[in-house]
Structure 1
């Protein structure tokens, strides 16, 4: 018999992979950049004086993986690297005009694909599902810190289904 935690994990991973692949197929058919490229372009576009480390931190991947992905989007002409103005050991990564066009084209294509794939879910279902996933993420992040169990249970947001204290 599968435990509820294992069942949650299994369905979460299955859903993530299937959703990622289906969105990827739909957006690539429209000439958008891959979802991995979209993620890095988004991270760069939202981070002033962006460094590879900043992108790695946002995407929760290693600096090496981020650097290799940045090499690929740089080769595609979507970003440029230049010496970082405040950190002489780092490069600053910026979107090119082509990178901004790709970002602006891909975002709406993702939204359209998500609407086609999951648009039958009503707003209440999405709000509840999102709240549960945020709570699970909060517990996961708190579990790696000392005293985390207490903080995860007693947040200013309360627990799901109960008012904040």
Structure 2
């Protein structure tokens, strides 16, 4: 029997792709939204009145990508834009009732998804993996 593949970066890329497509399929079935849309809705829920620029930083995306994402979410009635109280060119984002309902519909699926990963990795492995990925993603 050959040894398991040790190309960690390659394995992370493959795993991320597979996890994203699986989670997207499940979130679309449960709530009608993708994981990218879910991430944006969660960010707005955590920071009501967030600007698109702040949302882009929060999600680690370019502002142009967030503009399209926000347009799709507002067109779908999940987010609302309103004028920023002090910056005349900026808008702030807020969840609509439909956006809140989509998050509520997606939460059980996300919980199931995380429970499956916990079962695969074990509680200690899940926590250690999450901590390591957080360091890679957010620390310089």
Shorter chain as normaliser: what TM range? 0.7 to 0.9
* Residue matched to 1:121: 121
Name which of structure 1's ranges 27-36 and 37-46 shifts more when overlaid on structure 2. 27-36
May I ask how many residue pairs the two structures share in their alignment?
135
What is the RMSD computed on CA atoms of the aligned residues? 1.9
Which TM-score applies when normalising by structure 2? 0.86
SS of 2:120's equivalent in the other structure is coil
Which TM-score applies when normalising by structure 1? 0.74
More helix by share: 2
Q: Which has the larger radius of gyration?
A: 1
Relative contact order higher in (CA < 8 Å, ≥ 6 apart): 2
CA distance in 2, matches of 1:29, 1:117: 19
Cα distance per residue 1:14-51 (max 9 Å; x no partner): 11111111112222223442111101111111113211
Structure 2: segments with no counterpart, 5+ residues = 1-5
CA distance in 2, matches of 1:66, 1:123: 34
Contact between 1:74 and 1:80, CA under 8 Å: does it hold in 2? yes
